Structure 1
Amino acid sequence: MEGNSFQVSQNKFIGKTLLYMTMGLILTFIVSYALCINEDFIIFLYYNQYSFFVAIIVEIGLVSLITRKMESMSVKTGFILFLLYSVISGVTFSAILLAYSLESIIFIFFIAALMFLCSGMIGMTTKRDLSTLGRFAIMSLVGIIIVSIINMLLGSNDGLFNFINYVGMIIFCVLTAYDMQKIKIIHKYSYELSPVEVNKFAILAALNLYLDLINIFIYLLRLLGRKR
């Protein structure tokens, strides 16, 4: 009976995490699409390039804030910050949507979602501890970011650009499996905590999965997307 109760609790926790993630994704795409069809915003974006970088800095700041301070926040504040992050992501994402055809974006997002689902299922079902693999993926991600910056500063090399995108896509597939397995571990240790604390963990987990799926999509779009 206790085992069934634990399983039900775990399923609810995973369901809540995925619900939060989905809400964030929907909000991001709504904001992105609304901005893409707004002529005034397009003019503003192209004539104020610094605003795009400011939005990226705000994104990074919000991720850091949520990750580091979630335990001391209320659930409401944490959730609002997560939704705010999703909105800001929609602003930066609109620049990507402007560069590619809508049909291409929809098709590639479907592929990215399938890759995310398969990676997530591996993380949920494997008996192997993925923590070492996850840490390696995080270190590899830092390396890819550094190489990307160097490639951008020296003038984009097509071969290196494609290599970065393939490796980045693989890294985030690995991180998806790692984060899904981590959700089970988080639930195991938060099972007897209050619902408030469990909700905080669900928001953090949702943010990680959101970042995984978005990045798989972006790397795939760079490789396969059809430009406007």
Structure 2
Amino acid sequence: MTGASSGIGAATATRLAAEGFDVVLAARRLDRLNELASSIGGRALALDVTDQASVDAFAAALDRVDVLVNNAGGAFDANPVEDADLDSWARTYDVNVLGTVRVTKALLPALRASGAADVLFVGSTAGLISYEGGASYTAAKHGVHTLAETLRLELNGEPVRVIEIAPGMVRTDEFSLKRLGSSEAADAVYRGVREPLVAEDIADCIAWTLTRPHHVNIDLMVVRPLAQAAQHKVARET
């Protein structure tokens, strides 16, 4: 599982370990991974999805792969297109899309060899609809959505399920902070929202899709908090 050092990744690793999976946690921050792996009985491996050599070393360290959870990603700005920071765009695309392609491509032979495998993409509702100030992220997540759809077509007839989870508003420690740059701005995203989703909610959805009988493929699961009816429609208490 990529991006396992915090947020949805860490919660999912914990949940899957509790479900009986032998979990391999992968991310750049090995200190965090080692701590989590020790607590859940998993294995930690360093991985930078933007570095092909790192991806190759990661793949070579795995003897068997039954499930790939592509979770590494992130948003790094909230600029309108007119003020686009192209370095931020490139970083967003490299982490969310190209990084996901690198890891998926590297592990597909092992996934096929398992005989009953799963490739799961943690996408976003931003991959289904656009919004102002989100172009770099929505463009990348639309890429992830298309990647999942295309891979499912290409693997049709093979014993590999392709699953996409598309969360809406999820409150985690780092996502909005990294994107907006301050705790105050990050807190404002969720201000007044009764019970935004948390990482454990998405982990629950991921675990459910992966534990269905293997002939059952959950192509796409869109998950929002009750307070969020759509990307632009969020009930806030005053």
**TM more than 0.5:** no
Greater relative contact order: 1 or 2 (C-alpha under 8 angstroms, separation 6 or more)? 1
> Could you say which structure has the higher helix fraction?
1
> Could you say which structure has the higher strand fraction?
2
